[in-house]
Structure 1
C-alpha cells in the first residue's frame, strides 16, 4: 500500500508540475503571437481599421482592439457606422496618448508618469481599458499629498474612480489641518466644502480649527460667499468649541455679528457648556466629536543608569525630561494607551509589584495594582477586548 501511495503522490506532483509548465508555455505562446501581431501592425499588414486622431493615423486590427476594450468591442460588433468604416476618428483625444494605449493593447507595457497620468486616465476611462485605468489610479494614489489631495478627489469623481476618491479623502481627513491652509482648499465650491467639513473623521486638535477653515473660505471671496454663511458655519459643531474661544473670538467676528442666524448658533454653543451631561447627550450630531490629532513621541523609562525619564519629539527632534516621583526600574516594560503610559515589572533590589502610570496630557503620575506575580524582563501590549474595555496583556 505504501508503494501505491508513493506512486500516486509522485503522479500528482508530476501533474501539478506539468500544469505549471503548461501555463508558462501558454503565456510564452500568447506573448509570441501578440509580438507578431504588433509587428504586423507596425508594418500595416492585415490591418483592417485606422484610428485617426488630430490628423495622425494609427493602423490596427479590429479584433485586437475589441478584445482589449469594451468600447471598441461595441463599436466593431454592432451596427454602428464605425463597424464598416476603414477609418475611425477619435475626437477629443491626444495622438500621443492613443499611441501609448495601442502599444499597451499589443504589448501589455506602458509607462505611466506625472506628465501623462491624467490624460492616460481620461483616455483609459473613455475607451474602457481597465488595466491602464487601474495603473493610473495606483500611480496617483502614491502621489497624493497636501497640495493635491482635493484636486485628485475631484478628478476621481469625474473619472468614476471610487478607490482613488476614497484614498484622497482619507488623506484629507488625516491631514486636514495642513490642507485647509493651502490655496486649493479655498477653490472648493460650497457643496464640496460642506461635504468635507461635515465628516466625523476630520483629524483636528480642536473644533476651533473647523471654524477657522470655514471662516477662511468665506473671507477668500466674501462678496460672493457671504450668502453661504449659515450653510458653511452650520458645519461647525459649536458645542465642541471652547467657551473662551466662543466668547472672545467667534462672537467678535464681524461676519457673525451681522448675521442673526449665525449668532444664534454661537449662543447655542455657549449654552451647551452650562448643560448637564444628560442634557448634552440629547444634542446628538452637533456635539459629536471629531477624530483627535495627537503629537506622537518616543518615551524612555527605566534603564540601568539613574537618569530621568525623557521623551523624544520626532516633529522637532528635541528631547524633554519628564519629572518622575518613583524610583527607576531595570528590565521593565511600558505600554501606551489613550494618552497614558503604563510601566510594568522591572526591579530595583526586588521585583516591583505596582504599575506606575504617566498621563501625557496632564503631566501627572499615579500608581495602580501591578500583575499578580511581580517579574522583570516581561513583555506587554495594549489590546481592545471585544466585550470589555482596553486591557494590558503581560507575557
Structure 2
C-alpha cells in the first residue's frame, strides 16, 4: 500500500525546493496536455463537433463534476459525449483545469458562466460574476438580470444585490426595479449600506414600486415600510406619507411616539431606530496661500460653506488624493528643494501621519488611486522634467512602472474604466494637448486623441463615463471646457464658463457635475452645476473667497450620526 501523503516528511511550504518542485510538476503536466501524451479520456463535444483530449486525474482534482463523472459507470468510457456545452467554451474550461486561467470577455461570459455552473468550476463561476459586475456598463444591467434568471446562480444574485445597494438611486429609476420581487426589495431596503442621500429617497423608490402594481403589492407594503428608518423622518412626514398607507398606521404611530417621547423609547417596539451606515456626500475644499491653509466643508442643507479645519503645511506644488478618510499629500517643494515626502491627514480626527516616501522627489506631478494602488506620475525634480512613474502598494511599497513616453509636469490625471489618463501639462517644448492612457494590466502607455487645445495645469474629472477638462486659470475670464468620450475616442466642446479661475469639484455630487470658480473682478466664488440635457451651467450658490485659492476639492462622506 502506498504511503499516505500526510505521513511523508514535507518540505516547508515557503521553501525554494518546494516551489521549484511545483513549477517543474506543473510544467510537465502542461507539456503532457500540449503534446496529448498519456491521455486517458476524450470528450466528444457538439456545436460544432470537436474532440477534446484530457487527463482524468487533473480534471477530477479540479472539479467535483468530473470526479463524480469518472467514478460513475459512464466515466469508464474512453470517449464521453458532452451535449449541453458548445465546443469552444468546453475547451476553454478544460484548459482552465490545467492553467487556472479562463479568458472571459463580454461576448463569451454568458456561455462561460453557464458551463462553469454545469462543470462545478467554482473559481470560473466567481471570475465570471466578478467580470460581469466590473463591466456592467459594457454588458448592460438588463442582460445581467436575464442571465441571473436563466442560471439561478446564487453568487450572481448576491453580487447584483450588492450592486443595487451601492447604486440604488440609479437602479430605482430603472424599469427593471418595478419588477423586483418582495424578497429582493426587502433585502435592499434592510441594508445599512443602502447608498442614499436621505431616507426619503428610499421611501420615494418604494412608493414607485408599490404604485406599479398596487393591488398585488398591498399586502407586502407594511412589511417593506417597516424596513425604512422611520425614526429618521420628522413627525409631519410620518403623518402625511406613512400613516395614510393601509396597514402602516401602527408603524407611523410608533415612530412618532419614538420621536416625540424620548423617555418612552425603551418601551416602543420599532425595528430600526438608528440611521443607516451610509453617509451623505458633501465637498471638502482646501484653500491656501503659501502661508495659510484651511479646509472648508459644504453644508448641503444650509447651501453654504463653513470652515472645517486650519492646517499647517509648509510645502508648495504638492499633489493630493483622498483615500477613505485621509487626505494624502505627495511630494512638493520646500525652501526651493523638491521633496519625496508623503504625509496623510485624517479628516475626522485631524491628525497627521508620515507614510513611506516616494522613490523619486517630485513637484508639479500627478497622483491617482486605482484598484487600491497609488500612482505618482511625471512632475519636476528641480528643473528636470520627469517621465518616470512609480506605484505604491501597502505590501510592496513604491516600485517603478513603465515611464511616460513624453515627460511632463502640471498635467491632469484621472482614472476611468480601470485605466489611467494623463492630459496636457507642459515640458521644455511648451504647453501640451497630448493625452496618454495607461493600462495597469499590461504596464503600457498608449496615445489617445489630443485635446482640442493645449492646457497647462488643467483640472480634470470623470463624470458619467466621460472625462471633463478645463484650464485652472483663464486670462480672458471665460473657461473653455471639453469632454472626452472613451468609446468614440473623440473630444467635444461644451458650454463655456464665465470665470478667471476654476475647479471642477471632485466626483459628481447627487449625480451632477459641480463647478466652483471666481468670475473676473468679483470677490465671491460661484458654484454651478452642469445641466447635461441642455448643455448649460446652472448657478447653485456663492460664498466669500478664502484667503488664497482652492488647491483641490474632493467629495467626502458626511455621516449625520457621527456629528
TM over 0.5: yes
Contact preservation (8 Å) 1:97, 1:119 = yes
The whole-number CA distance in structure 2 between the counterparts of 1:103 and 1:284 is 55
Task: Give the structure 2 partner of residue 219 of structure 1.
Answer: 211
Q: Aligned to 1:295, what secondary structure does the other structure show?
A: strand
Among 31, 34, 50, the residue aligned to 1:57: 50
- CA deviation map 1:107-166 (0-9, x unaligned): 544311222223322322321234433433443453367x749849957993343xx666
Structure 2 CA distance for partners of 1:84 and 1:177, relative to 1, 3 Å: same
How far apart are 1:225 and its partner, in Å?
2.6
Structure 2 CA distance for partners of 1:230 and 1:32, relative to 1, 3 Å: same
Among 243, 261, 265, the residue aligned to 2:251: 265
How far apart are 1:301 and its partner, in Å?
6.0
Task: Give the structure 2 partner of residue 9 of structure 1.
Answer: none
Structure 2 CA distance for partners of 1:21 and 1:58, relative to 1, 3 Å: same
Matches within 5 A, 1:368-387: none
Contact preservation (8 Å) 1:35, 1:106 = no
Among 64, 70, 73, the residue aligned to 2:67: 73
User: Normalized per residue, which structure has more helix?
Assistant: 1
How far apart are 1:26 and its partner, in Å?
4.8
How far apart are 1:71 and its partner, in Å?
1.2
Structure 2 CA distance for partners of 1:209 and 1:154, relative to 1, 3 Å: farther
Among 180, 200, 220, the residue aligned to 1:228: 220
Unaligned runs of 5+ in 1: 1-14, 345-389, 391-395
How far apart are 1:275 and its partner, in Å?
1.4
Among 166, 173, 189, the residue aligned to 1:197: 189
Asked if 1:23 is matched to 2:9, the reply is no
The whole-number CA distance in structure 1 between the counterparts of 2:149 and 2:112 is 13
User: Normalized per residue, which structure has more strand?
Assistant: 2
Q: How many residues align?
A: 308
Structure 2 CA distance for partners of 1:157 and 1:273, relative to 1, 3 Å: farther
Contact preservation (8 Å) 1:311, 1:322 = yes
- CA deviation map 1:2-21 (0-9, x unaligned): xxxxxxxxxxxxx99xx636
Structure 2 CA distance for partners of 1:208 and 1:278, relative to 1, 3 Å: same
Unaligned runs of 5+ in 2: 1-10, 315-343, 353-561
How far apart are 1:90 and its partner, in Å?
2.9
Asked if 1:176 is matched to 2:173, the reply is no
The two structures, once aligned, show a CA RMSD in angstroms of 4.5
Structure 2 CA distance for partners of 1:120 and 1:331, relative to 1, 3 Å: closer
Q: Aligned to 2:221, what secondary structure does the other structure show?
A: helix
Larger displacement relative to structure 2 (115-124 or 134-143): 134-143
Structure 2 CA distance for partners of 1:329 and 1:137, relative to 1, 3 Å: closer
Q: TM-score normalised to the size of structure 2?
A: 0.45
Contact preservation (8 Å) 2:61, 2:67 = yes
Larger displacement relative to structure 2 (95-104 or 149-158): 149-158
How far apart are 1:310 and its partner, in Å?
4.2
Structure 2 CA distance for partners of 1:288 and 1:101, relative to 1, 3 Å: same
Q: Aligned to 1:291, what secondary structure does the other structure show?
A: coil
Q: Aligned to 1:74, what secondary structure does the other structure show?
A: helix
The whole-number CA distance in structure 2 between the counterparts of 1:133 and 1:219 is 37
Asked if 1:298 is matched to 2:291, the reply is no
Q: TM-score normalised to the size of structure 1?
A: 0.61
Contact preservation (8 Å) 2:194, 2:276 = yes
Asked if 1:90 is matched to 2:82, the reply is yes
Structure 2 CA distance for partners of 1:159 and 1:268, relative to 1, 3 Å: same
Task: Give the structure 2 partner of residue 382 of structure 1.
Answer: none
Contact preservation (8 Å) 1:50, 1:60 = yes
Task: Give the structure 2 partner of residue 121 of structure 1.
Answer: 113
- CA deviation map 1:79-102 (0-9, x unaligned): x2x123344333432333112112
Larger Rg: 1
